[in-house]
Amino acid sequence: MVRYVAEKNKRSLSKIFVLFAVLIFLIVAFSGCSDINPNGGIPSIASWAGWSKYSDSHGFSVYIPDGWSVDVDDSGLIRIGENPAANSGDLVFIWTMALNEQKTEAELFDETVSLLQTFIPGLQVTGERYVSNYSMYVGTLSYGDYIGVLMLSINDTDAYFIGLAAREEEYNESLDKLVRVLYSFNYEPELMDPDSVGIVQMQTWTDPTEGAFTIDVPKGWAVSSDSGVTRPYLDAAVKLVVSKGDMGISIEQLHPPLYYTPNWVLNMSGYTEGSYYMGGLVLSYHNAKQYAEQLLAGELGLDAPVDVTDMSDILSNIYSAPWIKEKTAAEATFENGLVHKVLVGDEYYSLAGVGMWAVSMIHYWAPENDLELVAKIANDMLLSFKLNETWAANEQKQVAIRTGIINEMGDEIANIVKSTFNYRDQVMDETSKKFSNAILGVEDVYDPETGEHWTVPSGASSYWRDVYGNVYASGSYSPPTYNDNWKELYCPNC
């Protein structure tokens, strides 16, 4: 598809002046009109009586006869004439395009004509052909009692679509004005007001809490005071909310555990469905679509969604791990005067028989006419996200340190596992230990002969000890290497 813009490309706009000079020649030759001599030149603009310069905040200027006006559509189509919005009277139009993919002149010409027909109903084009001497694709147009000329040129990823039209019986007389308008048209980037053309400038924003990451945010938008790295539990998560007026974007990274699925251990401890536990909520698992349909409106303070679509196919290439049992995604649409779009990601974990699940959200909102722009900004923000490598490396070390401290404290406080392999007589305590380990993502493994035990990251099929006392995890039930000195450790929950 082609992305149409009002003025977003300054690399080769000067080419359009050459094109206009060529156009003047082709208009005369291709339309069969001989009233203008293209080799004779056009009188100096200063001598054009009854004409005045029009400057537009979209970044261009043009001289127009008294009584003419200019209409600029959000798509980037510029119409100049006696009544351009109604396509009546003499008319010039210019469309500057930035291509997302390579297209031939014929393909792009046909596609652009199809779009132009949405602005000018009944428009027909005949006599299409490529003029190799000028590298332009041309055709004659007609609608109602109007006739005219269309021309298109492609330069790398830039394209220029130019045309003019007038009533058939007045065409020859109108041609002088139409050509002069094209001749005087000039791109002037210094006139451009970014807000007028829907261009949002981005600037780099750095996490103020730990310097953990940078991300591009829209210039002039407010960033909420609680944005940055957050630690809802112990490890880092990301929260970012940017807004301007009635437009906004919220990005909340997954920070498990957020929900705990009910089980008999929690029930016996008094944590029933709907109760709060360790900063989270005890709640039966909901996949992303169910969460969006049943819970999301309450989280956001909105009415029920008007549409929820399963988007789980987008997760096919997302990293997974043995303890992640399910990944789902869905997109929900809400309306409350504004349109809200929310992409929900959902992960379900099962560790040592304990279920936990968490969600992450990308939420953006705006008036319907601005929603596409805000969606693009959100996408640009996500693509610009960069972690600080030094911070990331240190965070990994801190996670390991914290895990060790937490397990040590858990052993002391709960007095569950002492120094020997005597857990069989402590069924309730051991069940609590399993639950704690599941929350922490760790396992207790034992050497049955010596009674020694180690707390290790969970998720492996088996654990082994070498002759030096080092413990290794294996993804299968075989030792890490073929070595007779490996000793398998007992893992009750593997």
Percent of the chain's residues with pLDDT above 90: 22
Q: How confident is the model at residue 484 (pLDDT cuts 50, 70, 90)?
A: low
Question: Are 153 and 211 in the same domain?
Answer: no
Question: Are 321 and 347 in the same domain?
Answer: yes
Question: Are 377 and 401 in the same domain?
Answer: no
Question: Are 171 and 35 in the same domain?
Answer: yes
Alpha carbon distance 439, 364 (integer Å): 32
Task: Answer with the one of 191, 216, 250 that is the final residue of a domain.
Answer: 191
For residue 259, tell me if it sits in a domain: yes
Question: Are 161 and 280 in the same domain?
Answer: no
For residue 493, tell me if it sits in a domain: no
Question: Are 280 and 173 in the same domain?
Answer: no
For residue 21, tell me if it sits in a domain: yes
Question: Are 288 and 158 in the same domain?
Answer: no
Residue 220 sits in which domain range?
202-387
The most confident of the ranges 31-45, 98-112, 477-491 is 98-112
**Number of domains composing the chain:** 3
* DSSP β-bridge partners for residue 83: 88
Question: Are 375 and 404 in the same domain?
Answer: no
For residue 372, tell me if it sits in a domain: yes
Question: Are 309 and 382 in the same domain?
Answer: yes
Do 300 and 334 form a contact (C-beta atoms < 8 A)?
Answer: yes
For residue 293, tell me if it sits in a domain: yes
The reported pTM is 0.52
Question: Are 439 and 326 in the same domain?
Answer: no
Alpha carbon distance 399, 234 (integer Å): 8
Q: How confident is the model at residue 441 (pLDDT cuts 50, 70, 90)?
A: low
Question: Are 226 and 177 in the same domain?
Answer: no
Predicted pLDDT of residue 29: 47
For residue 494, tell me if it sits in a domain: no
- Between 422 and 401, residue with greater pLDDT: 401
**What DSSP state is assigned to residue 420?**
S
Predicted pLDDT of residue 221: 92
- Tell me the per-residue pLDDT of 180-225, one tens digit each, with 9 for 90 and over: 888 888 888 777 776 665 667 788 999 998 998 888 898 889 999 9
For residue 425, tell me if it sits in a domain: yes
Buried b (16+ CB within 10 A) or exposed e, 207-234: beeeebbebbbbeebebeeebbbbeeee
Q: Provide mean pLDDT across the span 33-59.
A: 70
- Tell me the per-residue pLDDT of 74-97, one tens digit each, with 9 for 90 and over: 778 899 999 999 999 999 988 887
Supply the CATH number for residue 231's domain: 3.40.1000
Task: Answer with the one of 157, 191, 225 that is the final residue of a domain.
Answer: 191
Task: Answer with the one of 163, 191, 219 that is the final residue of a domain.
Answer: 191
Q: How confident is the model at residue 485 (pLDDT cuts 50, 70, 90)?
A: confident
Predicted pLDDT of residue 436: 45
Question: Are 68 and 128 in the same domain?
Answer: yes
Alpha carbon distance 252, 330 (integer Å): 15
Residue 469: CB partners within 8 Å, gap ≥ 6? none
Q: How confident is the model at residue 460 (pLDDT cuts 50, 70, 90)?
A: confident
For residue 28, the tally of other CB atoms under 10 A from its CB is 19
For residue 197, tell me if it sits in a domain: no
